[in-house]
Amino acid sequence: MIFEKEKVKSKDCPYCTGKGYFQLLLGGSETCKHCHGSGKK
Ligand SMILES: [Zn+2]
C-alpha cells in the first residue's frame, strides 16, 4: 500500500498551503491575506 504524505489539497489555500498563515523569516507569523486565516480557498 502506498501511504501518501500530507499533500496540499486542492481545497487548501495555495498561498499558505492550508495553514492560514505565513511563517516569517524574521520570526513570528502573519495571517494569510488570501484566505484570511481559514486556510481554505
Ligand atoms: Zn491562505
Give the Å distance between the CA of 10 and the centre of ligand 1.
12
Q: What are the distances in angstroms from CA 27 to CA 7, 10, 17, 23? A: 25, 28, 18, 7
pLDDT digits (tens, 9 = 90+) for 1-41: 766 665 555 799 999 999 999 989 999 999 999 999 999 98
The answer to whether position 3 is within a domain reads: no
Has residue 20 been placed in a domain? yes
User: Has residue 25 been placed in a domain?
Assistant: yes
Q: How far is the CA of 5 from the centre of ligand 1 (A)?
A: 20
According to the model, what pLDDT value does residue 9 have?
58
The closest of 28, 2, 27, 32 to 17, measured between CA atoms, is 32
Residue 35 domain-assigned (yes or no)? yes
Side chain identity at residue 26, one-letter code: L
Is residue 1 included in any domain, yes or no? no
Q: How many domains does the chain have?
A: 1
For residue 23, what is the enclosing H or E element?
A: strand 21-23
* CA 38–ligand 1 middle distance (angstroms): 7
Distance 36 CA to ligand 1 centre (A): 6
Domain of 13 in residue numbering reads as: 9-41
Rg, C-alpha atoms of the chain: 12
- Would residue 29 count as lying in a domain? yes
Max Cα separation, the chain?
41
Question: Is 41 domain-assigned?
Answer: yes
Please tell me the predicted confidence (pLDDT) of residue 4: 64
Evaluate whether residue 4 is within a structural domain: no
CA of residue 28 to ligand 1 center, whole Å: 16
